[in-house]
Amino acid sequence: MSVQCLYIENPFGHTLPGSVALVDTVTIIILGFIRGCTALTTYTMESPHEHQQNLLLSRIITNVEKLNEAVVVMNKALQEINIQNMNIELVAQMFKNYQSNVLFHLEATDNLKEPS
């Protein structure tokens, strides 16, 4: 944002340069820092970019809401997949335990042989 140089008149009629301090996007306070200047004036002005920023924020909010909905749908799909995979996981664990038991039994009975 560019700020133009502002001037404030002191009580003696002389024009003195002022300093601009931005309070927020809406209010500008003009202060004179030279002796004899007692003016403190507040101007409210609409930011030239406020409308464009509001449109952008609206688009961002809409996109985040859509993203949130997509994540919720994806989470539900992943939960269904996990439920369906529970049977496969159970069979895999049973096979692993069976393989471990067979290996233990073969080692205990000295029947474990090298694969040929």
What pLDDT shows up at residue 52? Answer: 92
At 41-58, the pLDDT tens digits run 555 567 788 989 999 999
Closest by Cα among 42, 6, 4 to 24: 42
Residue linked to tokens 């301090």 = 21
d(CA 38, CA 62): 48
User: Which pTM value belongs to this model?
Assistant: 0.45
Residue 9 makes CB contacts below 8 A (sequence gap 6+) with 15, 16, 37, 39
Mean pLDDT of 79-87: 95
pLDDT value at residue 4: 43
32-44: pLDDT as tens digits: 444 444 455 555 5
Q: What is the pLDDT of residue 98?
A: 97
DSSP letters, 41-58, are EEEE---TTHHHHHHHHH
Q: Which two tokens stand for residue 59?
A: 């688009």
Residue whose tokens read 């008149």: 9
